[in-house]
Amino acid sequence: MEDSERVKILKAFDETKFGVKGLVDAGITKIPHMFYHPPDHTKKIYSQLNILVEYMNQVMKLGTILLELLSEAFGLNPSYLIDIGCSERLSAFAHYYPACSETELTLGTIKHADVNFISVLLQDHIGGLQVLHKDMWIDVPPLSAALIVNIGDLLQQITNDELKSVHHRVPSNLVGPRVSIASFFGTLTTRTSRFSCNTFGPIEELLCVDDSARYKETSIQEFIVSCITSINSTSPRILLLKTLQFKVVFSFHILEDPCARKRVVESVRDASETFGFFQIVNHGIPLSTLEKIKDGVKSFFEQDSEVKKKFYTREHRPFLYNSNFNLYVFIEPVSPTRVN
């Protein structure tokens, strides 16, 4: 009922001077519309948010281990990447891709590389993520209970191109809806950041006479600005579409064993150098948590638009809802801070 309509009815009721008792005496058996209390949808949203927070806490633990393994992969102290701020900030995007009947006209997510250190991505059983490898778009097959780890532009920069950030995209699909949750590890861009004065350039320990720094030192703000200034090129670099069943399978239980850990570190480095991404299973996040978060995201998007509207904004908020983050600009993050 419109608010103005409701006020009119309430007024008429008030003017009868009978009160609620008068209505009961008149024999009403149902609560009149004018007394309906709007349902509290925010409760549902907060329970969906709690699920997200629970998931992100677990992703934070996983990311910490991955950053340790990646530090070790370069012979650095295991806490090196964490100590320079790579896990200071964990943010997440939950995506909902409706089924699309005109797949040739649009993309779900355009080609991009993530502007951060690493991302942990959960895609549902529908799949659809593709990564660019040697000018070929490769399907990343949905593996039940697996998480995908992407190397981001900042990790490419600080490893002086030893690791490659991976370009990826999600074509639109006849089948849907598809949901995915991408969690990004980075540093805060605010002044409250412990690392706000830090700049990120190639790690000195990784440089040698034959390999000088390919990037200049940049603050996190400069890095982000430079990444969003280049316009997405539409030139198709796609030669072939093929599927590559590529995964690093490891169990965190075995990381206690130094030999097994060394093998895992080697395969993480190998995958990160060659492909810029890998899938992991046995990552320690229970299947039930993965199912809960996918269901939570789906039910968030599928609830009433009026409820979601309250969270719709393009401003920075701890929790917000909107359409494509790049709705107005087609961006293609590159690494423009390169010096050569």
- List residues near ligand AKG by CB under 6 A: 93, 95, 109, 114, 121, 123, 129, 168, 170, 180, 182
Query: What tokens were used for 181?
Result: 């949750």
Phi, psi of 223 (to 5 degrees): -60, -50
180 contacts which partner out of Fe ion, ligand AKG, none, CB within 5 to 8 A by kind? ligand AKG
Residue 123 or 160 with smaller CB distance to ligand AKG: 123
Of 51 and 297, which has the nearer Cβ to ligand AKG? 297
Q: Shortest distance, CB of residue 168 to ligand AKG, whole angstroms? A: 5
Rule CB under 5 A: say whether 114 interacts with Fe ion.
yes
Q: Residue 211 is encoded by which pair of tokens?
A: 């390999």
- Residue located via tokens 């999600």: 170
Q: How many CB atoms lie within 10 A of CB 35?
A: 11
Q: Which stretch binds Fe ion (CB under 5 A): 12-20, 111-119, 212-220, 282-290?
A: 111-119
Burial 298-311 (b: 16+ CB within 10 A, else e): bebbeeeeeebeee
The site partner of 170 among ligand AKG, Fe ion, none (C-beta below 5 to 8 Å per kind) is ligand AKG
Instruction: Indicate whether 88 belongs to the interface with Fe ion (CB under 5 A).
Output: no
Kindly tell me which of 94 and 264 has the beta carbon lying closer to Fe ion. 94
Q: Which is nearer to ligand AKG, 73 or 86 (CB)?
A: 86
Residue 58 contact, options ligand AKG, Fe ion, none, Cβ 5-8 Å cut-off depending on partner type: none
Q: Which is nearer to ligand AKG, 198 or 232 (CB)?
A: 232
Helix, strand, coil % (nearest 5) of the chain?
35, 20, 45
Segment near Fe ion (CB under 5 A); pick from 107-115, 220-228, 255-263, 292-300: 107-115
CB of 113 to Fe ion, least distance (A): 7
Shortest-Cβ-distance residue relative to Fe ion: 114
For the bound state, the minimum distance from the C-beta of residue 114 to Fe ion, rounded and expressed in Å, comes to 5
Q: Which is nearer to ligand AKG, 95 or 283 (CB)?
A: 95
Contact 55, 289 (CB under 8 A): yes
Residue 95 interface partner, choices Fe ion, ligand AKG, none, CB cut-off 5-8 Å depending on type = ligand AKG
Find how far residue 244's CA is from the centre of its chain: 23
Using the Cα atoms of residue 49, residue 55, residue 58 and residue 60 in order, give the sign of their dihedral: negative
In whole angstroms, the minimum distance from the beta carbon of 179 to Fe ion comes to: 15
* Pairs from 323-332 (Cβ < 8 Å, separation ≥ 24): 325/93, 326/110, 329/228, 329/231, 330/110, 330/231, 330/232, 331/110, 331/112, 331/227, 331/228, 331/230, 331/231, 331/232, 332/110, 332/111, 332/112, 332/230, 332/231, 332/232, 332/233
The one of Fe ion, ligand AKG, none whose footprint includes residue 337, by CB under 5 to 8 A per kind, is: none
Q: Does 153 bind Fe ion (CB under 5 A)?
A: no
183 closest CA partner among 98, 116, 129: 116
Binding site for Fe ion (CB under 5 A): 114
